[in-house]
């Protein structure tokens, strides 16, 4: 039997922008929609350019929803998409206002953490694993999602966009 563990959103909430508050209750920025890996790469490249100028660092965390089960087995496409939206909503509620959430065609999500190092990235990955895997209540239906999460650090794992994207694609 599945049980609900977090707050939910209904279809009536779908028109509203996701301005979630983290643990501090402050509003977060809405996700940045991107259409495919090329646009994710462009966002990473912008951040890399800033880091090179300022000798900074950043972490990148990639979240992929691997599987969604409904109450009677694999979820249909509509339920799966609503669960993916909820996964992004939970991510948004667990990042800093300075972080960037990129939503790739409503499937995968990438979080860019400016100034983030290896310890910060590790903590974010651990927090996401606990918060994103599990049960979601969507429109009165309980569904279970399984996510995979990967991360990469600049400059530790690479100094080029391709290197970092490949490393982050190695998901847990």
Q: Where are the domains of the chain?
A: 32-169
Q: Say what the pLDDT of residue 142 is.
A: 95
The structural architecture, per CATH, of the domain 32-169 is 2-Layer Sandwich (3.30)
What gap in Å lies between CA 64 and CA 41, rounded to an integer? Answer: 16
The answer to whether the beta carbons of residues 114 and 47 sit under 8 Å apart is yes
Residues of the chain with pLDDT > 90: what percent?
63
Say whether 41 sits in a helix, a strand or coil.
Answer: helix
- pLDDT value of position 19: 35
Residue 129, H or E segment: helix 118-132
- Is pLDDT above 80 for 16? no
Which is more confidently placed, 116 or 59? 59
Q: Average pLDDT over the chain, rounded to whole?
A: 82
């Amino acid at each position: 039997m599945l049980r609900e563990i977090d707050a939910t959103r209904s279809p009536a909430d779908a028109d509203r922008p996701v301005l979630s508050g983290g643990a501090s209750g402050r509003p977060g920025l809405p996700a940045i929609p991107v259409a495919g890996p090329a646009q994710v790469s462009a966002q990473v490249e912008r951040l890399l350019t800033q880091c090179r100028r300022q000798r900074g660092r950043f972490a990148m965390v990639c979240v992929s929803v691997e599987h969604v089960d409904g109450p009677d087995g694999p979820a249909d496409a509509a339920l799966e998409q609503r669960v993916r939206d909820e996964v992004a909503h939970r991510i948004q509620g667990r990042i800093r206002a300075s972080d960037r959430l990129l939503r790739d065609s409503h499937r995968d999500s990438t979080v860019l953490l400016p100034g983030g190092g290896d310890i910060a990235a590790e903590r974010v990955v651990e927090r996401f694993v606990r918060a994103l895997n599990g049960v979601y209540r969507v429109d009165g239906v309980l569904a279970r999602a399984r996510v995979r999460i990967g991360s990469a650090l600049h400059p530790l794992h690479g100094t080029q966009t391709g290197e970092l994207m490949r490393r982050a694609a190695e998901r847990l």
